[in-house]
Amino acid sequence: MKMNGEHPADMSEMANMDQDTMTMPGGTHMMMDTGSLRRKFWVSLILTIPIVLFSPMMGMKLPFQITFTGSDWVVAVIGTFIFIYGGQPFFSGARNELKMRQPAMMTLITMGISVAYVYSIYAVIANDIFHVTPTVTDFFWELATLIDIMLLGHWIEMGAVMNAGSAVDKLAKLLPDSAHLIGADGTVSDVKVASLQVGQRVQIRAGEKIPADGTVNDGTTSVNEAMVTGEAKAVAKTTGDTVIGGTINGTGTLEITITGTGDSGYLSKVMTLVQSAQDNKSQTETMADKVAGYLFYAALIVGVGSFIVWLMTSNLAAALSIAVTVFVIACPHALGLAIPLVVARVTSLAATSGLLIANRSALEQINHVKYVLMDKTETLTAGKFSVNDVQSFSDEMDDNTVLATMAALEQQSTHPLATGILSAAKSANLNVTAAENVYQQTGVGLAGDLDNHHYQIVSPTYVAKQGLTVPKIATGHPGDTISYLIENQQVLGVVAQGDQIKPEAQKMVTQLKQDGLVPVMLTGDNRQAAQTVAAVLGIDEVQAELLPEDKDRLVTDYQKRGGVMFVGDGVNDAPSLAQADIGVAIGSGTDVAIDSADVILVNSNPYDIVKLIRLAKTMTRKMTQNIWWGAGYNIIAIPLAAGVLAPIGFILSPMVGAVLMSLSTVIVALNALTIRRD
């Protein structure tokens, strides 16, 4: 993550390292993309056709089965290819699970197909070379179809939830490509940002992105930090103040001394928090992995135990047959589709409701969620300032004249406060004539001429410093931003602006409380503005003026008391989105936040949080049902296959096992389709 000449591996290079790694539930990694899985599935499926035609299913001869001299060897060759080619993703996944000492789905699949393959090769050799009687049943039919279904299941799941973006890559893109480096002799030259070092001086011109963290040496301006810190208003900067790499300079020109770049930079620290949180979350074991892990140990213990018992009481052939049947039955086809079919259905329904699911495994934590932590700006509020009130202090001006005069000065400005004033004037149908000779007064505001008068728009700080007399303000709301109109050092009027609360936010907070969840506001904005919004919405717990590491810490603290869903939109929210049990990004937010989240609210509608919670609960309920249908019968099937009732003359027939597997596959598919849009 270094960004200087001594360390060529910059953030963008780090971002591209794992683009082709699919993170499966439970932390398993499949080193391939969707295209590779799709290709393996289709090749394996086509090659399965001759195996289905030439070999029996669980020893049961099918009506359409074709046999001819050498057909067993044809099946063996094709089965070997499918085993190696189609099974490769599962071998890799099992290796990773075993390295973590956490056997789960990949290990169970690998055990099932490996036992089926080895025993099937043994069966072909025993039948066609040594001509043993009775003939040994092979499992090539089960091997091929199991690989097909598992590849299909993982392809469906990957295609449904694959998040093509990279939060790390988006963080790197926040910085500009070049910077204006000031040399020892005062000359300015353009250099690559990656070559900047601590202690160097750079110049940032109006409207440019700040290339690195630093301290202002010269200049006065306002900096838009909303994307990074969450502060809605532009922040004034002057000599001695600190600036953050990736934020946007306003109208002034700054000279700064670099204090942080590479690993020491603010964005790099945010990236480290994001990566750490995502790594921790990837270790969370999913419902299917837990069941697969239990099945793996059950099959291993019962299979080995039954082999030993039958070897002692019968013969090697019988012992092998029963043990292999146990291993194969323990890896049901339905389990491979139980979760992916639900995921595909839920993902499709969610998309129609404006919810994009990027990480379905996180949604399995929904029943444990107790706290819903939310950022303020762009999540609960629109991030757009609007005029709450206008008040005139002059006998020669009414309120509308004050607003029209300020709008005349703000005609060419794109500042959020200017936009609010212009919108209010337009809504009031005021006749606004553009002022002349308008110029920016650094650290003060705007000034210009209108109808032979020279006006200024200034901040409360300027009014206080100049000792100007201001009548008592009975306008606006707590937390509003105040702008004064003055002429010849006389205050003529005031405009109060506030960030607009989204209309759906109130309904969302009320519903969360009714559902027994605790809404909490975490924001980088100022405390007064945060408290004002929280009071309107009925949010009792508020934390304001937070840095990313503060939010991340608070998410962790709340997680000690219960499950946490975090909703945010800015770069400063990215670590918290990744750390939370469920991270939800507002669709209008930054790419970094969106790529750190588990779910994206496309319509930026706060009430969609309620929809998400309901959908997630439906998903977990259906997953639980499908897992029972897809694997629950093993509670009875495995002991019966092992011969627990052999003393009374009953052993589960391989054919019955095949029917049970087929029936469970149909049931889980139908159950997934019963999920409907509510």
CB 447 within 8 A of CB 438: yes
Rounded Cα distance between 96 and 100, Å, is 6
Mean of per-residue pLDDT scores for the chain: 82
CB 385 within 8 A of CB 481: yes
Read off the amino acid at residue 93.
Answer: G
- Per residue in 268-289, pLDDT (tens digit) is 665 665 565 555 544 445 777 8
Phi, psi of 343 (to 5 degrees): -60, -45
> In sequence order, what DSSP letters do the residues of 450-477 get, joined into one string?
ETTEEEEEE-HHHHHHHT---PPP--S-
- Per residue in 601-636, pLDDT (tens digit) is 878 899 999 999 999 999 899 988 988 887 777 888
Phi, psi of 545 (to 5 degrees): 55, 45
pLDDT of residue 75: 95
CB 28 within 8 A of CB 157: no
Read off the amino acid at residue 196.
Answer: L
Instruction: Choose among 541, 532, 411: nearest CA to 480.
Output: 532
Residue ranges and CATH numbers for the domains of the chain are: 20-165+280-345+621-673 (no CATH), 175-264 (2.70.150.10), 355-380+502-602 (3.40.50.1000), 382-501 (3.40.1110.10)
- Is residue 267 within a helix (H) or strand (E), and if so which, with residue range? helix 266-282
DSSP code, position 193: G
Q: What are the tokens at 36? A: 């590779």
User: Which of 123-132, 193-202, 521-530 is predicted least confidently?
Assistant: 521-530
pLDDT of residue 32: 58
Half-sphere exposure of 333 (CA within 13 A, CB side): 22
pLDDT of residue 298 exceeding 80, the answer is yes
Q: Quick one: 322 exposed, middle or buried, by C-beta within 10 A (0-12, 13-18, 19+)?
A: buried
Q: How far is CA 281 from the centre of its chain?
A: 11
pLDDT of residue 27: 41
pLDDT of residue 430 exceeding 90, the answer is yes
Read off the pLDDT band of 25 (50, 70, 90).
very low
Read off the pLDDT band of 409 (50, 70, 90).
very high
Total number of residues shown for the chain: 678
Largest CA distance in the chain: 114
pLDDT of residue 544: 87
Q: What are the tokens at 423? A: 């919108």
User: Which of 3-12, 192-201, 202-211, 213-222 is predicted least confidently?
Assistant: 3-12
Instruction: Choose among 371, 361, 363, 382: nearest CA to 569.
Output: 382
Q: How far is CA 379 from the centre of its chain?
A: 16
Half-sphere exposure of 482 (CA within 13 A, CB side): 21
Catalytic residues: 375
Three-class SS state of 72: helix
Instruction: Choose among 323, 332, 284, 344: nearest CA to 582.
Output: 284
- Per residue in 446-484, pLDDT (tens digit) is 899 999 999 999 988 788 889 998 887 655 566 677 889
pLDDT of residue 82: 97
pLDDT of residue 114: 93
pLDDT of residue 492: 95
Task: Determine the Cα angle at 275 with ends 274 and 278, to 5°.
Answer: 85
- Is residue 309 within a helix (H) or strand (E), and if so which, with residue range? helix 287-313
DSSP code, position 262: G
User: Which of 12-16, 50-54, 235-239, 556-560 is predicted least confidently?
Assistant: 12-16
Rounded Cα distance between 428 and 450, Å, is 20
Work out the percent of the chain whose per-residue pLDDT is above 70: 82
CB 546 within 8 A of CB 521: no
User: Which of 114-118, 377-381, 399-403 is predicted least confidently?
Assistant: 377-381
Read off the pLDDT band of 159 (50, 70, 90).
low
pLDDT of residue 144: 92
| Cis upstream peptide for 647 (omega within 30°) | no
State how far the alpha carbon of 51 is from the alpha carbons of 47, 81, 553, 658, 666, in Å.
7, 12, 56, 16, 22
pTM: 0.63
Alpha helices (H) in 330-379, listed in sequence order = 333-352, 360-363
- Per residue in 540-553, pLDDT (tens digit) is 999 987 877 888 89
pLDDT of residue 224: 76
pLDDT of residue 19: 37
State how far the alpha carbon of 81 is from the alpha carbons of 67, 84, 87, 117, 118, in Å.
20, 5, 9, 11, 13
Three-class SS state of 449: strand
Three-class SS state of 86: helix
Phi, psi of 665 (to 5 degrees): -65, -45
